[in-house]
Amino acid sequence: MEFKHSTEVVTSVEETFAWHERKGAFRRLMPPWEKAEQVGELSSLEDGTRLTFKFPMGPIKMKWIAEHSGYKPPHAFEDTMIKGPFKAWHHVHSFVETENGACRVDDHVEYTLPMGILGRIFGGGNVRKRLRRMFKAREIRLSKDTKRYNNFAHIKRKKILIAGSSGLIGRQLIAFFDTAGHDVWRLVRKEPGKNQIRWSPSDGKINADELEGFDAIIHLGGAGIGDKRWTKQRKIVLEKSRTDSTSLLASTIAGLENKPEVFIVSSAMGIYGSRGDEELTEESAVGEGFLPDMCVAWEKSAQAAIDAGVRTIHCRTSLVLDATGGVLQKMLLPAQLGAGGPIGWGKQWYSWIAMDDQVYAIDHLMMTPECEGVYNFGSPNPVQQKTFAKILGKVLWRPSFIPVPPIGIWFLLGKMGVTLATDSSKILPNRLIESGYEFQYPTLEPALRDALGKWKN
């Protein structure tokens, strides 16, 4: 059996092939709803090198090992499955120059299903459908990434250090920066490997000498807001994991001889609190309560870098849509069961942002020297929770009218769950738009369809 797919991009054959050779290409090309994890690092696409990754298949994790061959830069490379779910799999990637000097990527897959004729009868249609979804996702992501890369192709690539690189946003941000040709490093708490620097923010330990000479330092770290119930002790952990680490980085940066051009720090829309129908811009006053107080302390902890003259950016992030984690993943099971209806009356505002817009906006602010200060990271079109539930139900072809009482969330998740589900924050990304950023997904339905692979014909 065979499958063919073509993708046209704006970059040249040489640039597009180089994009595929970089380590971040695997994650960027993986469909956004798949939880596949790469085992080890891919050294190159040269003949004889192997790529190993694990992916869920029902209740178990399956390993896929592919060996590369046919390495002819910048025109082609191939991979053959050594171990995996197919009886046989051979994939040829071809890079062809188009009439306008750009590139067309041709994918040609020849595969054989296990179990002979029974495999073809009972699994052939499902496999072909899955391949169409997978390569459609690859086409969309490659097309978007190369366009964004092209926006700043004239600017020298940067040396970037990222804290919180293993988180939901960090994994995608690192992969995007890597495929864009930047020199990406990570701050880690474990024994450091290649392009890694060890630190211990809880102990206030970091080697300042190792931070000299980075162009950008980005801090995405902090204990997960929705991971556990908000006990008194948990609230302390949530705040200190943010303020202590940010303060350590900011004070270290302030003392460097070769300071970074920019220091980018996560923040959250929780700084505004629950404000009903009020439209919240970067000029709005902060709110009251645990989340606003924590976010204010979080942003203040970067003051040392600002005082030292380093361009500093706070990203007040809304609900980031990613099917493999975060709030969307938590919504999926009840929504798929038809129980993802309005929470209470459903009138509370949900400000949201697509994962790719989260990544692209950070890149935009980093690469634009005029940008500094506070930025709301949310779509220009927030929706009420009942509308969010209705659109998610539409995308999943599931009913979404059964209301969810807040008391049920209280029993399951405590005050934390009720706060996150019922607070109303209608944030608007005014400064981001004024800076020239163009949203990839300004409205909710296309963002959800892309995140879940549920596109319209």
Both 307 and 395 in a single domain?
A: yes
Q: What residues make up the domain containing 273?
A: 159-452
Residues 351 and 206 in one domain: yes
Question: Rounded distance, CA 112 to CA 81, Å?
Answer: 11
Do 137 and 244 lie in one domain? The reply is no
**CA 81 to CA 63: how far, in whole Å?**
11
Residue with tokens 């692979």: 453
96, 127, 151 - which closes a domain: 151
Q: Is residue 221 part of a domain?
A: yes
Is the model's pLDDT at 175 over the cut of 90? Answer: yes
Torsion of CA 22, 24, 25, 27, to 10 degrees: 160
173 touches 158 (CB < 8 A)? no
Same domain for 168 and 70? Answer: no
Amino acid 415: pLDDT? 56
239 and 102 fall within a common domain: no
Model pLDDT for residues 346-394, shown as the tens digit of each residue: 899 999 999 999 999 999 999 999 999 999 999 999 999 999 999 999 9
Q: Which residues contact 129 (CB under 8 A, 6 or more apart)?
A: none
Domain co-membership, 300 together with 267: yes
Per-residue pLDDT of 136-160, as tens digits, reads 999 999 999 999 998 999 999 999 9
3-state helix/strand/coil string of the chain: CEEEEEEEECCCHHHHHHHHHCCCHHHHHCCCCCCCEEECCCCCCCCCCEEEEEEEECCEEEEEEEEEEEEECCCEEEEEEEECCCCEEEEEEEEEECCCCCEEEEEEEEEECCCHHHHHHHHHHHHHHHHHHHHHHHHHHHHHHHHHHHHCCCCCCCEEEEECCCCHHHHHHHHHHHHCCCEEEEEECCCCCCCEEEEEHHHCEECHHHHCCCCEEEECCCCCCCCCCCCHHHHHHHHHHHHHHHHHHHHHHHCCCCCCCEEEEEEEHHHHCCCCCCEECCCCCCCCCHHHHHHHHHHHCCHHHHHCCCEEEEEEECEEECCCCHHHHHHHHHHHCCCCCCECCCCCEECEEEHHHHHHHHHHHHHCCCCCEEEEECCCCCEEHHHHHHHHHHHHCCCCCCCECHHHHHHHHHHHHHHHHHCCCEECCHHHHHCCCCCCCCCHHHHHHHHHCCCCC
Domain assignment present for 302: yes
Count of CB atoms within 10 A of residue 61's CB?
A: 12
Per the domain annotation, does 341 fall within a domain? Answer: yes
Give the count of beta carbons closer than 10 Å to the beta carbon of residue 96.
15
Nearest to 242 by CA among 291, 169, 295: 295
Examine the pLDDT at 444 and tell me if it is beyond 80: yes
The CATH number of the domain where 196 resides is what? Answer: 3.40.50.720
- Residue 32 confidence (pLDDT) above 70: yes
Q: What is the CATH number of the domain that holds 17?
A: 3.30.530.20
Structure confidence by residue, pLDDT tens digits, 83-96: 999 999 999 999 99
**Chain segment 394-423, per-residue pLDDT in tens:** 999 998 877 776 665 555 555 555 566 778
Q: What is the per-residue pLDDT for 438?
A: 97
The mean predicted confidence, pLDDT, of the chain is 92
* Contact status, residue 267 vs residue 417, Cβ threshold 8 Å: no
According to the model, what pLDDT value does residue 409 have?
A: 59
* Listed residues 151, 170, 203: the one ending a domain: 151
Cα–Cα distance, 7 to 16 (Å, whole number): 11
If asked whether residues 138 and 257 sit together in one domain, one would say: no
249 and 353 in a single domain? The answer is yes
**Residue where a domain terminates, one of 94, 129, 151:** 151
Residue 457 lies in a domain: no
User: Does residue 169 fall inside a structural domain?
Assistant: yes
Q: Which of 99, 126, 96, 100 is nearest to 108 (CA)?
A: 96
User: So what's the pLDDT on residue 416?
Assistant: 56
The tokens for 433 are 């738009």
- Letter for the amino acid at 97? E
C-alpha atoms less than 13 angstroms from C-alpha of 14 in its C-beta half-sphere: 1
Q: How many beta carbons lie within 10 A of that of residue 22, not counting itself? A: 18
Q: pLDDT band for position 331 (50/70/90)?
A: confident
Say if residue 395 is in the same domain as residue 421.
Answer: yes
Instruction: Say whether both 214 and 265 belong to one domain.
Output: yes
User: Which whole-number Å values give the CA distances from 336 to 13, 234, 313, in the listed order?
Assistant: 41, 31, 38
Q: What b-and-e string marks burial along 252-291, b requiring 16 or more CB atoms within 10 Å of the CB?
A: bbbebeebbebbbbbbbbbbbbbbeeeebebeeeebeebb
pLDDT digit string (tens) for 247-261? 999 999 999 999 999
Q: What is the pLDDT of residues 281-294, one digit of tens each?
A: 999 999 999 999 99
Q: Over pLDDT 70: what percentage of the chain?
A: 96
User: Is residue 117 domain-shared with residue 168, that is, in the same domain?
Assistant: no
Domains: count for the chain: 2
Residue 76 lies in a domain: yes
Residue 180 and residue 90 in one domain: no
Contacts of 236 (CB under 8 A, 6+ apart): none
Task: Identify whether 79 is part of a domain.
Answer: yes
